[in-house]
Amino acid sequence: MPTWKMYTGLEDPVSHVHNFELQTDLQGVRDDARCRIFPSTLSEISQQWFFKLQPGSITSWGGFVHTFDSQFSSAMPLPSESNDLVDIKQNDNEPLKDYIQRFMREATRVKSLSDDGKLIAINSGVKVKSLFWSSLKRKFACTTQEFLDRVEEFIKLEEAERKVDNPTQAATEQGKIDAENTTNPTKGGKNGAKNDKCSNGAGSSGNLNDNKKPKTAEQPKPWEYVPKFTTYSILLETGWTFLMPHGLLYHTEDLHQ
């Protein structure tokens, strides 16, 4: 059995009955059963009215609804007129989005509202000398749908400007994103993690190649002489003959001359 919001006597009785009928229709409930179920949707104060009804006074669901609506008619919202919509104006500091939502909510309460009447009223309520007001002056919207399509772009523009004018809010939102990426690096920080991985891999790869590369002594140039011995002694005696690296014989006496 579905559950319903309890009726306290302060809400619109027509809306309460309408919601009740929608849900009972889905359950396939007949009208005679509705008369028995409906009192369970009334709060304690509203049930006092039901218990005061004369026995046998309810003979049909339609008659029950009429009696219920008449009893709580004071809670019915007064229907709005099309002229009432003209009085709805965008306040100085009111965002364009809030104005549109407020207007459309009131427009649903107007019966037999034509598209032309709605368009004229919603146009007249836009704040004078605003960006959207200037756009409408340059090119008037021919239908309400065209008006709503065009206003969407200006709503996005206002929201972007508010973020720029309020850096604290933007920083807070960015901080939430950074914190989320930190706690869950696989979500927002995939690219960063991937780049770090690539950079670390490239660095480690380079180090491995450097370690694997054999260290060889610097090769001498073809014309450069490389001595066989690096330690030498001064010849104090004469009479020795030895072969120099370039193939010539020298005598120690010749060297001392």
Quick: pLDDT tens for 107-157.
888 888 889 999 999 999 999 999 999 999 999 999 999 999 999 999 999
Beta strands in the chain (DSSP E): 241-243, 249-251
> Do 87 and 161 belong to one domain?
yes
- Degrees, nearest 5: CA angle 10-26-23: 10
User: Would you say residue 143 lies in a domain?
Assistant: yes
Tell me how many domains the chain contains: 2
Domain of 131, CATH number, reads 1.10.1200
Residue 22 belongs to some domain of the structure: yes
In a domain, 158, yes or no: yes
Whether the Cβ atoms of residue 35 and residue 58 lie closer than 8 Å to each other: yes
**Is the separation of the CB atoms in 188 and 181 below 8 Å?**
yes
End residue of a domain, out of 150, 165, 180: 165
Flag whether 121 is in a domain.
yes
Residue with tokens 């179920």: 37
Q: What is the DSSP letter of 219?
A: P
pLDDT for 149-178, tens place per residue?
Answer: 999 999 999 999 888 877 665 556 566 666
- Domain of 131 in residue numbering reads as 82-165
Q: Are residues 64 and 98 in the same domain?
A: no
pTM over 0.85, yes/no: no
Of 52, 75, 98, the residue at which a domain comes to its end is: 75
